A and B are shown apart, each in its own frame.
Chain A
Amino acid sequence: MIDFRRWGSRGCIASLVFVASASAVSAADKVKIGFVSTLSGPSSALGIDIRDGFQLAVKLNGGKLGGLPAEVLVSDDQFKPDVARQLFERNVKRDKVDFMTGVVFSNIMLAALPEALDNKVIYISPNAAPSSMAGKDCNPQFFAVSWPNDAYHEAAGAFANQRELKNAYLLAPNYQAGKDSLAGFKRTFKGQIVGENYTKLGQLDYAAELAEIRAAKPQALYIFLPGGMGINFIKQFVGAGLGKDITLLLPGFSADQDIINPVGAAMAGLFNTAHWSPDFANAANQKFVAEFQKEYKRVPTLYASQGYDAAQLINAAVRDVKGKLEDQDAVRKALRAAKFESVRGPFKFNTNQYPIQNYFVRTVGADGKGGLINKSFNEPILKDHGDAYVQQCQMPK
């Protein structure tokens, strides 16, 4: 038999919850931001850099974003998609934040993102920018202020053409992102692919692959090996003496400050592609790099620059809507306009709310203090570059 009293009490609670949520209209006396990122464990360096860049921008603004006092709720997803989803839910439903941001890894972001987007909270991505969200799954609440997944690889392919490298060998871990990355390189590279090797994810030793590469004698070698895999590979590549005959090309995140430090001197002279470099001469970047080093006593990474820019983007949007955060159409319009001085130089949003920007070749050289640092070429390798998926995006109004 159905217990009607139980059903009745549930309905009663549900309506109470509804009343409570309806009465909590956000008063725009401050701007609340939920920042969820990977801040503990072996993969935490990237999240910590994004957070430090973001917090630096808030601090340099006198604790405000767009003229309103900023409250940044920082929490740690522990590198777990389910934890990230719970934190998103807490920030969105309990804390009633105005913006969400912070996640490093795309698998974690994609798991947690519905909690924000389904509840009409805008997500500003400071790093993860998967091709799905640029194309068929594009969303008016989602802004990528970093760089599309394929962009560095497309830039590396273009650089190989510019250097007139006739053939290339490609190496990546055997999973979707690895295959997508090499597809990005092949999209722009006009030469011949002499070999394509997919390794185990998290592989430590690359001696067998290096022997095959030596036998294949390519002019260029392009690798997509994020994090520790890249550190291991670069050390072993240089130790095997292959650097003399083969031009090793890297995506920017495999030759950033967090890779240069553990690899050491073997990094010198390697080429990599990125949308930002610590030596960019624009005023916004000079200020960012100097203040970051003063505050945290280390050279900022790509991730730190992305965190800083994410905060600057929110700052500009809140300023331009004059603090009226409840008018979400106006907020999104202001975000799309992106009226801020990015540390990367010229920046604008495409119709899929992914960036159109320049990509540069960087090379690792001496910083004059006994260490190594990235230096960018003067001319971008890809100018005003968007992404290959924007055609598939039917952005709902």
Chain B
Amino acid sequence: MTGVLFFEQALNGLQFGLMLFLLAAGLTIVFGVMDMINLAHGSLYMVGAFFAAWLTALSGSFWIGAAGAVLLTALVGMALEVTLLRTLYARDHLSQVLATFALILILNDGVKMVFGNDLPLAAPAALDGPVQLPLGLQYPAWRLLIIGVGLGLAIALYLLVQKTRVGALVRAGASNREMSSAMGVNVARLFTLVFGLGAALCAVAGSLLGPLLAVQVGMGENILILAFVVIVIGGIGSIRGALIGSLLVGAVDTLGRTLLQSGLRGALPPQWASAAGPALASIAVYVLMAGVLVWRPRGLFPVR
């Protein structure tokens, strides 16, 4: 593998990791602060992508569409929290899993009724193609944008959680819910706000990934599994853990699909390499998760 190809794959790993981070950040806060397993988190990502595609077609501008999608999805998330999910906090994880799984099915068919099975969503023409980077490397402009937005949001979230009053409340809620409630925190309002923030991050991910991935019913389920892997690796409730976990998963997945395969091709007879390579690549992130859990059972950055 040449240096340029390696650099390109490193960018790919970074971009994939940051895209996972946008989803995992919301998931980990909701899980950490409210102790709530929300399987429907992926459905909010789908809702965000559909809103973005719909509003982009209506307004003619991707940016208006994306901004509108973030706003609308945050409202949908908060409405769900106030009407339905709030009643689940006191219940055990099994009830939460069952109820939010039902929500996946309802949202899937609800979106299909409103928007149809899929919608087109393309990047703005200026960012549609590849750009020339140093070393003769061509890289898609849209993926560079995702890297930029992902890094920007990671820093913004870090500042929000570490440096602001809302962030302090979130951290307090994550480390001890009863105590922070006893200290006079309006937990109900905080939870609604946090849920809205998680939904908004989903919508950012949905709008940014729409031009790369299919905007279709059921798009949330595939990516949700990886988001759960990320937060388990990173430690539930930790934004920093979600970021490190996403970057690890992105890097391991990309390297598993490239370096590992070319390494195997060098070391093994071709028919073995072609059978073992893809099989190993598809379990690489789960091996990573198992390894991290053996080493640190509560994840890399446990909150509690």
Contacts and interface: CB of A to CB of B under 8 A. Distances in A.
Interface in A225-269: 228, 231-232, 235-236, 239-241, 258, 261-266
Interface in B91-119: 108-109, 117-119
Interface string A187-208: 0000000001111111011011
A235 B211 contact: yes
A265 B5 CA distance: 29
A204 B282 CA distance: 12
Given A41-B108, A211-B258, A204 B223 contact: yes
B9 interface: yes
B217 interface: yes
B143 interface: yes
Contacts of B281: 200
A228 B214 contact: yes
Contact of B117 (A209, A211, A258, A264): A258
A241 B2 CA distance: 20
A204 B213 contact: yes
A231 B212 CA distance: 9
Contacts of A240: 130, 138, 140
Contacts of A208: 9, 12-13, 254, 257-258
A17 interface: no
B216 A262 contact: yes
Contacts of B258: 208, 211-212
Given A207-B16, A235-B213, A264 B109 contact: no
Contact of B121 (A201, A239, A264): A264
A288 to B, nearest CB: 22
Contacts of A209: 257
14 contacts: A42-B221, A44-B117, A45-B118, A196-B274, A198-B277, A205-B16, A207-B254, A208-B12, A208-B13, A211-B258, A235-B211, A235-B212, A240-B138, A258-B117
Nearest to A198: B278
Interface residues of B, number: 46
A240 to B, nearest CB: 5
A198 B143 CA distance: 23
A40 interface: yes
A231 B216 contact: yes
B152 interface: no
A1 interface: no
Nearest to B257: A208
A51 B104 CA distance: 25
Interface in B1-58: 2, 5, 8-9, 12-13, 15-16, 19
| Cβ-closest 8 pairs across A and B | A42-B218, A264-B120, A231-B214, A241-B130, A262-B118, A207-B12, A174-B278, A200-B282
B291 interface: no
A239 B15 CA distance: 15
B278 to A, nearest CB: 4
Interface in B179-223: 211-219, 221-223
A60 interface: no
Contacts of A22: none
